[in-house]
Structure 1
C-alpha cells in the first residue's frame, strides 16, 4: 500500500524546460563575438549534464558559482574569449531571467489536494538548490502541500543517490516500500527511486519512447491526475 508520494519539481509540477530555454536564449544573446543559437544549445546541453549526472558527485556550492562554471564551460567549448567579470555578469543575468516562474501544470494543485485529503504524506525531492527552489516553490503556491522538502545543498545528497530518497522516507515516517516517487528524469527520478526501493512513476506527458538502456519505471503517466488511481 502506498502511504506517501515524493515529487520531483522541475518538469513534473511545472514546465521548467520551456522557461529555462527562454532564459538561456536571452542571456546567450549578450555574448559578444559568439553565435547565440550555438551558445544557447551548448549551455542547455552542459547544464542538463551537470544537473542530471554531476550534481550528486560534487560538494554543495553556491548557485552563482555553479552558473559561472556552466557559462565558462559553454564559452570555452564555443571558442569564445571571456573574462571572470563577464562570467559573473552572465550568471547574474541568467539568475534574474530564471526568477520568472511558470505556473504549475493544470492538474497539479488538484492532484496534490486530493492526495492530502486521502491522508497520504507528501514530500518533494528536487535536485534544485535552496537558493533558487525555495522561492520557486513559494511562487508556485504549492509549498503548503508538502510535509518535507529535500534539496541537495541542505542534505548533502542528490538524486539518484538512494540516501536522498531514504532520508525523505525517514522524515515522513514511512518505509520505502510504502512510498512512491514521481518525476520526469529516467536517471535521477526513476533510476534513483528504484534503486532506493520505492515505487517509481515516470511522468511522461509527451509519451516519449523510453531508451532500452534506461531503468524501467513501475508506472508511466501522462497526467498527474493518474496518480490518484495508482495510489487509490
Structure 2
C-alpha cells in the first residue's frame, strides 16, 4: 500500500501556468528595440535567474541586474543589458498567463481532496500577479516564494516552510514540478515524493544524480498515480 497523502505541492511556471507570449520572443523584441542584435539567448537568463532572485527585491530589478551581468560576461556594456531589460519589462505582462493543458481541472479536483501548496522560485511581485490572474491563489492553502521567503529551490527550506504552513509531514506530501535541478532535487532533499512533469521537450527524468519518484507528461496523469484516490 502506498503511503497516505495529505498535501500536494506544485511549482508554478511551466507546471501550472505559462506565459501566452513566449519569453524568447519578448527578448528578441527587446534587443531590436534598443538597436542591437541578440547578445545572449533566453537560456542564459534562465541559467542565472536563481542567482539574482536571492539578491533582488523585484522582477524588474532582477532582470536588470541579470541582463547587465550577461552582457558584461560577453564583453558588452552592462548598461546596454539594463536598457534591454527595461525594454523587455515594457512589454511583459505577468498577468497574461494561461494554464497548461488540464492544469485547472487537476488543481480544482485536488484542492477538494488535499491541502495545496505552491512553491515557486521567482520575484514575489511577478509571481503574485500570475497566481491572482490565473486564479491559482484561491485554490492554494499556502504559497512560498522561494528566493525571498526562503532560499531558492533546490534548497529544502521552501518545501519545509510549505509543510509547516500546512501542518503535514514530508512523507505525506507530493511535490510536482518541471525541473529536475530545482523541483526534483529540492523535493528529494526535503523528504517529499517527487513528481517530474516532462513536457515540450524539457528535462529528462534524471540528471546530476537526481531521479524523480514519478514522471508524467501531462498534469492529468497525476490522477493515475498510485497514491491518488479515484476522482
**TM-score for both structures, normalised by structure 2:** 0.86
State the distance in 2 between where 1:150 and 1:212 align. Answer: 25
What is aligned with 1:15?
18
3-state SS of 2:211 partner: coil
What is aligned with 1:218?
213
Deviation at 1:129, TM superposition (A): 1.5
What is aligned with 1:35?
37
Say which structure is richer in helix: 1
Say if 2:121 and 2:145, in contact at 8 Å, map to a contact too.
yes
Asked if 1:74 corresponds to 2:90, the answer is no
Within 5 Å, which residues of 2 pair with 1:192-207? 192-206=186-200
Say which structure is richer in strand: 2
State the distance in 2 between where 1:229 and 1:196 align. Answer: 24
User: Any unmatched runs of 5+ in structure 2?
Assistant: none
In the TM superposition, structure 1's runs of 4+ consecutive aligned residues that sit over 4 Å from their partners are none
Q: CA RMSD in A?
A: 2.3
Say if 1:23 and 1:98, in contact at 8 Å, map to a contact too.
yes
Say how many residue pairs are matched. Answer: 222
Taking a change above 3 Å as real, the CA distance of residues 198 and 97 of structure 1, as seen in their structure-2 partners, is: same
Asked if 1:98 corresponds to 2:115, the answer is no
Instruction: Point out the more displaced range, 172-181 or 97-106.
Output: 97-106
What is aligned with 1:133?
127
State the distance in 1 between where 2:151 and 2:207 align. Answer: 27
Deviation at 1:117, TM superposition (A): 2.2
Instruction: Point out the more displaced range, 107-116 or 62-71.
Output: 62-71
- Among 54, 57, 62, the alignment partner of 1:61 is 57
What is aligned with 1:49?
47
State the distance in 2 between where 1:15 and 1:214 align. Answer: 28
3-state SS of 1:99 partner: coil
User: Any unmatched runs of 5+ in structure 1?
Assistant: none
